[in-house]
Amino acid sequence: MAYATQMAAARQGVLTPQMRQVLVDEKIHESDLLERVANGRIAIPANRNHKNLVAKGIGAGLTTKINVNLGVSEDCCNVDNELNKVRRSIELKADAIMDLSTFGDTRAFRRKTVEISPVMIGTVPVYDAVARYGKEVANISVDDFFDVVRIHAEDGVDFMTIHAGLTRTAVQRLRTNPRLTHVVSRGGSLLLDWMTTNDRENPFYEHFDRLLDLCREYDVTLSLGDGLRPGCLRDATDAAQIQELIVLGELTKRCWQADVQVMIEGPGHVPLNEVVANMQLEKKLCHGAPFYVLGPIVTDVAPGYDHITSAIGGALAAAHGADFLCYVTPAEHLRLPDADDMKEGIIASRIAAHAADIAKGIPGAIAWDNAMSKARKELDWTTMFNLAMDPDKAKAYRASSQPLDQEVCTMCGDLCAVKRSRNILEKKG
């Protein structure tokens, strides 16, 4: 193997097997793919130890991808349930799975997840450091943190969220610009605790070259985490968030200098009128790197419906530059999601991603909608169900209310506008 990472290969003009897999799914010329991987505008997370991976690209000119979060916790430690979520996520066409486990034998679960998953796998090593060592956060050593990063890389994790931009300067911005909800990122809060208690700089920022060496060795994509993302609308686009984003932009350049692929993680709660500006800021400050957003959630008052609030924000965000949407379920802010919550979150995120792809003019995106519209005009129910994003739900709705005329539905019955106008406008002779 003459190249260390997908980025290094692209810079040598080498079309890797993973790039060929991306070309199967995407309507992009191979020369454009090579150029955008080489300059960092597309990332292909593909750890060399993830043997059954079917690689996908994230970034400029590609379809918007979606991620599913899952994993075991102390309060909900059912490994079989979480593995079933992994399988179901793949069936529901998620593009990535993040294992956020914080309890039990996290390595066994992570290895099994990698083993059964053809989709890319992400993790947050800081979570696992707490679970693995059983220490107070402040007592975890720098070497402990990096040992966990190496373990995740060895296990085949394709991308890792590392909150390297949460520096002491950013913390000072947070203190001098008080927030309503402080720090809502779990990884961000853990590092804030470590830095404050030990009166030290963020170890991942201070030893960033050490992190790059590990990522390059296994071709792990860095997902630079937003430890200071806003946790409510009032805190959106504030000084601390932007301070961290500036640092992430600087770290992006260091990643590319080391042939390491990188994505940038973005805000969680953002008023609708600030979503586009946030996308523009990230793309500008982080030099066009792929952008990975949680939602964003556009109102704080809809617990139980946050898959909808995030789909609204996600569609707008992706239409204006976000490349990767992290799903949000109805259980957000309330509890660990179950399998039904997970499905609702996946479908909502897929709707947002597809709507954005149409808006961005991704080649071929609207063809799916045109095919559905043709089937609707023809009242071809079988084709409509086959084309539906969730065929089972569509079939169940129709089966629950049967019309007298099986060609139409019970909304209009004999007054079906589609049937009537078709008969008039397509009348032969």
Annotated binding site for substrate: 69, 98, 127, 163, 185-187, 226-229, 265, 292
Phi-psi bin for 336: left (phi > 0), alpha (psi -120 to 50), beta?
A: beta
* DSSP collapsed to 3 states, 357-399: HHHHCCCCHHHHHHHHHHHHHCCCHHHHHHHCCCHHHHHHHHH
**Residues flagged as binding site for [4Fe-4S] cluster:** 409, 412, 416
Q: 250 with 188: CB under 8 angstroms?
A: no
Q: What is the DSSP string of 396-422?
A: HHHHTS--SSTTS-TTTGGG-HHHHHH
Of 246, 251, 315, 240, residue with least CA distance to 282: 246
Q: Where are the beta strands (DSSP E) in 140-216?
A: 159-162
**Residues flagged as binding site:** 69, 98, 127, 163, 185-187, 226-229, 265, 269, 292, 333, 409, 412, 416
Phi-psi bin for 277: left (phi > 0), alpha (psi -120 to 50), beta?
A: alpha
Please give the angle made by the CA atoms of 286, 121 and 140, to the nearest 5 degrees.
Answer: 80
Q: Which amino acid is at 133?
A: Y
**Residues flagged as binding site for Zn(2+):** 269, 333
Cis, peptide link before residue 118, omega less than 30° from 0: no
Measured in whole angstroms, the distance separating CA 348 from the mean position of its chain's CA atoms is 13
